[in-house]
Amino acid sequence: MDFQNLDPQKLVPEFQKLLLTFDGRIARQDFWIGIVVLIVVNLIIGTVLGWIGGAFLSGLLSLVLAYPGYCLSLKRSNDLDYPQTYVQGFMALQIALTVISMFGGLGLGFLFFSVLLPILAIAALALLVVLGFFQGTTGPNRYGPDPLASQAA
């Protein structure tokens, strides 16, 4: 997205395309803009839902926000020309652990908090570094044209 020349009327469709579609590629800047939007939404709505309904409602919000997070991550992975299985595997793990945490850890106790959550945290950090800081493929790849070339034109 080119935010300097963006018409305010096109802002909502551009964010819908950024956060709700799987196709194509996005540059690092667009990825970070989407991540910041998701973090802000999660902090504001998650805090309110946490006060109202505790971990269950906060977990539901996390599940809802997993979809736009998946769309962002998948398109960024496409830009790097990486296999989509890395993002899919991480998202499956995140969703599974979110559901488990919504129900109080399902009796997993030590295993959940000492093993599974740290694994998810390490995987999330690794994925964030790769998707957020590595330069994408220059020129077109199998997922579409270079998003930086599109912005320069």
48-57 contacts, C-beta under 8 A, 24 or more apart: 55/101, 55/102, 55/104, 56/102, 56/103
CA dist 47 and 42 (Å) reads: 8
Residue type at position 44: I
3-state secondary structure of 103: coil
CA dist 137 and 17 (Å) reads: 21
Kindly tell me if the per-residue pLDDT of 147 is higher than 90.
Answer: yes
pLDDT at 3: 58
Kindly state the DSSP code that residue 112 receives in the 8-state scheme: I
List alpha helices for 21-116, DSSP H: 28-80, 85-102, 110-111
pLDDT at 97: 83
3-state secondary structure of 141: strand
pLDDT at 59: 86
pLDDT digit string (tens) for 35-51? 999 999 999 998 898 88
Kindly tell me if the per-residue pLDDT of 4 is higher than 70.
Answer: no
pLDDT at 12: 83
How large is the average pLDDT for residues 9-36? 92
Q: State the pTM of this model.
A: 0.88
pLDDT digit string (tens) for 112-140? 677 877 888 898 999 999 999 999 999 99
Residue type at position 126: A
Phi/psi of residue 144, nearest 5 degrees = 140, -175
pLDDT digit string (tens) for 77-98? 999 999 999 999 999 988 988 8
Distances from the Cα of 50 to the Cα of 45, 63, 94, 121, angstroms = 8, 14, 19, 21
Residue type at position 113: F
Structure tokens at 145: 């044209």
CA dist 23 and 72 (Å) reads: 10
